[in-house]
Amino acid sequence: MDKFIGKWANPLDDSLLEQSARRGKQYDFDQIAEDIKEKLRFEKNDVVLDVCCGNVALTKRIAPLCKKIHGVDFSATLLKTAEKIIIEEGISNLETHLSDAMKIDELFPAGTFDKAYCYFSFQYFSPEKRELLLEKLLRVTKPGGIIFIGDIPDKTRMWSFYETKFKFYRERISHILKGKEGECDLGWWVYPQEIQAWGAKHKLNVSILKQSEKLPHAHYRFDVLIQKTN
């Protein structure tokens, strides 16, 4: 079984949205990419990291704005699609790496990237791994660089997503009985204060951002912008 397909996503076809576990007309990769661009303000000489890049549906939209972009993902299925897109669309500055996100500091030297981001995916990491991932992102980002974590399920707004508490607890019990990862089908819910506390520990400037109302998850998700100061 693929490490993502069949575990976190069960696509009905080979479309980029289905592979990314995104269904419905409300999803617009162009709009999401524009939101990322606005927050990270890419420059032409930037070297960028996309953690959990998947099938590069978003990565390919960022690539024209920077010098080089590296996508890392542990799904061989998604990266197979990504490589097809890279060849067909002639994206010469996009390189993918089949790897666990927890090994990015083994893939790249310290201070490699001007900007790094992780979108759609932070909730798939356990509470213990989330802090470790942030520290590894910090390590591979240059002094003065920026880290962006996007589309994070907000535990303080969990009941804005679930119609009833019964639905959540049914998912939770099902995951426990089946020995599945995550506390529900979305993965894990995250408190914004958790990331703020991590940032304070490292003396970093951490901004908790509300999502644009144009985005489909704005009523229960948030974004984070982290400035590496030294």
For the CA atoms of 94, 96, 100, 102, the dihedral, rounded to the nearest 10 degrees, stands at -30
- State how far the Cα of 130 lies from the Cα of 134, in Å rounded to an integer: 6
Q: Is the pLDDT of residue 11 over 60?
A: no
Query: Residue 173's pLDDT is what?
Result: 87
Mean pLDDT (the chain, rounded): 90
CB atoms within 10 A of CB 181: 12
- Report pLDDT digits (tens) over 139-149: 999 999 999 99
Structure tokens at 158: 């969990």
Q: Given this structure, which CATH class describes domain 16-227?
A: alpha beta
Residues, the chain? 230
- State how far the Cα of 86 lies from the Cα of 68, in Å rounded to an integer: 13
H helices, E strands: number in the chain = 8, 7
Average pLDDT over residues 204-227: 94
Query: Residue 178's pLDDT is what?
Result: 79
What does the angle CA 64 – CA 34 – CA 67 come to, to the nearest 5 degrees? 20
The full set of domain ranges for the chain reads: 16-227
Give pTM, 2 decimals: 0.91
Query: Residue 89's pLDDT is what?
Result: 97
Grade residue 116 by pLDDT with cuts at 50, 70 and 90. very high
